[in-house]
Structure 1
């Protein structure tokens, strides 16, 4: 195990980093009680998520986000959007480029991605699914802001083309209702596809101010749904623009008029509009959702409710816990929000149903820990804010992630630092703790001492705690 962390093993190492954001301009900045522990946890969870979800199999030389075994490891545009967002936030450009090139292989004549591709690379579901496409478009905007557009992919132009195609095919003319794809509209829509924070970015980035009307219409529809949910804030998976039930022939007349797996994403998408832009309607919506779930408690949330709050589901899982938790970023009850964050950390789905909930969990953990800044308007630094030199009793020598002990995780962080893959450590005292020989520098000698302590050749470092 230890030899896999040696300098010779760098070719397979991740270059991941996180933004180390200071939170958001509006609402609660973070629900994590210990930022250092949260940042270390995020990097571990990111590596675990990639090991389960990222594959080159069936990807034509690129990489794709695969669903779970219960879904035959297919790829959907939704997952590609999530994957690209995560890649840009974790600063993994090569992965981002692979994901986008794979997705673009399946753009249809609308310039949007066919929504489902099987594990062998064949189109399994034609037509767009707006949520996946808008997440990919937003990720391209963020890539342009983070990395520039002078490389192999012109992120800026790709993003503008994508956003213009979304407006042309997925916004209903005249009403500005967001369609679920290149079909539907006022007569059939999916509320959880509404992403008003994205639309404010699109309006400024492309100059098409009509995107602001799409954001406004999204809130109008939420108000219409509010006439039927008894002030719970819960929305249905599918409905009409007037908030009433929709039964489509493709569902054999069955109803999707309940707070189920699609609708569960609504708090996350709306909360971002308050955290980033201070939109009062976003706060009002999230406050209703958070008030409702406060009566239930973090440990008792299940996978489905009627719009008025009647319990319909039976499983306590990542999808419903993590998305609900985001609604507490817009309120004032930090203590309960921290309980929701802790429950999100604790609840992780297992195979064969480990794609959807765990992917939302990864995104929302970033957001709730203060590490999901608006990359369009924010200059992101991967370096924590400098702190005064602490006294010797304020950190553990060798502890680079802030968990108050030295272990192989810290050794891995030092390896990445020495190879230039990261320029800082999760712990605010990381650079002091990394100098384990006390010579005032972080170098290969520190790396050697760490290895010797890990394998038992030495019992302690030259520099004392």
Structure 2
């Protein structure tokens, strides 16, 4: 009898202890990498590749896209002794999108020389020095630095700011334009200190609509009356709130609003997002270019939702959405699906695109589907993009390699972590 009682007590103790451990484990895993500093490597976890194999793949992609053959491989071109640009090869121009992506890739790979070269080129040729556009960037330039379009595409500024803040934490701040934190805060300040809104194309406005608390497509004229779902990066806004004391509450609100917006913007069955939408998530096609469909910008929504969940895990809807999106593409054939669609899933192209395949692999970071392994495998098997289309495909491919391998990380001083949005 005593033995039975003793065994019962032991079993009960073990059960309670196991339950406690399970609860603690679940709580730990419900937090994002900001809190746990854990970044899964899906190439290792799902494909059973070695860490050395993964490193070699990333190194090879960086080497080819940054230092490969001038005509067919590289997109990064050094100029003078201390500058460089990322070229859109197909259009023979330079865009804030590519420059900011290049800087983000450089800080994540600890490539300070490349980062500083890109930043100096952007600062010298793209950033406005005076007037109503001061501290904004011209989104479109020639390779000699001449401005093609003085307007700003908001995603460029978003990625510039975040890359600069991560550089500040990883390498420390230097002097002048290499005081990364100071430069980032200047851009953040500019985003919110122009005119609230205007219907005149000649009037530069805030990059974030203060009333709806969302990023605008272009901060000028009628283009500030709508947004681009791929510009919604709540994980970036969370980091901005940590640094920007004056506007912390605003950036925290923007992060929450963006997460809620994305739920409205994606199709409830396919998970596809439009290129452009109104602030209520309604697809929008302002100039007749099919931007109410799932096109090139929209590929990136999958990356942003999954990375936001990986970093902060504030909304489990990201898991549901990533599952839905991957199931849609899986239903179209994992090795066959084209790159453009109506939101309800009708194909608009027969082309396969490395950029889309790459972004779908990033969605696997938030997905719980069994098929996520196959999307990761598709990324692993892709060659490094070459030829005329290597700019956009190549940038998304390299970003995806970093994210899926656990090498797209937050760098922030420990003493600032307390400023995180509640």
Tell me, yes or no, whether TM beats 0.5. yes
- Counterpart for residue 339 of structure 1: 374
Distance 1:331 1:310 in 2: 23
Tell whether 2:66 aligns with 1:50.
yes
| 5+ residue gaps, structure 1 | 1-22, 380-465
| 5+ residue gaps, structure 2 | 1-31, 68-73, 194-205, 416-422
1:285 to 321, 325, 343: 321
Distance 1:283 1:166 in 2: 31
- Counterpart for residue 276 of structure 1: 311
TM-score by length of 1: 0.70
- Counterpart for residue 118 of structure 2: 99
C-alpha offsets along residues 219-252 of structure 1, whole Å, 9 cap, x if unaligned? 23223224xx24221110012122323232xx3x
Distance 1:310 1:30 in 2: 33
- Counterpart for residue 361 of structure 1: 397
C-alpha offsets along residues 186-239 of structure 1, whole Å, 9 cap, x if unaligned? 73211101111000000111122211221222223223224xx24221110012
Distance 1:43 1:129 in 2: 30
Count of aligned positions: 348
Structure 1 contact 203–211 (Cα < 8 Å) conserved: yes
Distance 1:179 1:308 in 2: 25
- Counterpart for residue 148 of structure 2: 124
Structure 2 CA distance for partners of 1:266 and 1:26, relative to 1, 3 Å: farther
Tell whether 2:279 aligns with 1:236.
no
- Counterpart for residue 66 of structure 1: 87
Q: Shift of the alpha carbon at 1:378?
A: 8.1
SS for the counterpart of 2:364 is helix
Distance 1:230 1:173 in 2: 28
Distance 2:412 2:292 in 1: 35
Structure 1 contact 298–321 (Cα < 8 Å) conserved: no
Structure with higher helix content:
2
Distance 1:151 1:193 in 2: 30
Q: Tell me the C-alpha RMSD between the 2 structures.
A: 2.3
- Counterpart for residue 362 of structure 2: 326
Distance 2:236 2:363 in 1: 17
Moved more, 229-238 or 342-351: 342-351
- Counterpart for residue 163 of structure 2: 139
Structure 2 contact 293–342 (Cα < 8 Å) conserved: yes
Distance 1:366 1:287 in 2: 21
Structure 1 contact 301–321 (Cα < 8 Å) conserved: no
Structure 1 contact 177–185 (Cα < 8 Å) conserved: no
Structure 2 CA distance for partners of 1:327 and 1:347, relative to 1, 3 Å: same
Q: Shift of the alpha carbon at 1:26?
A: 9.4
Q: Shift of the alpha carbon at 1:47?
A: 0.6
Structure 2 CA distance for partners of 1:235 and 1:186, relative to 1, 3 Å: farther
TM-score by length of 2: 0.77
Distance 2:170 2:112 in 1: 10
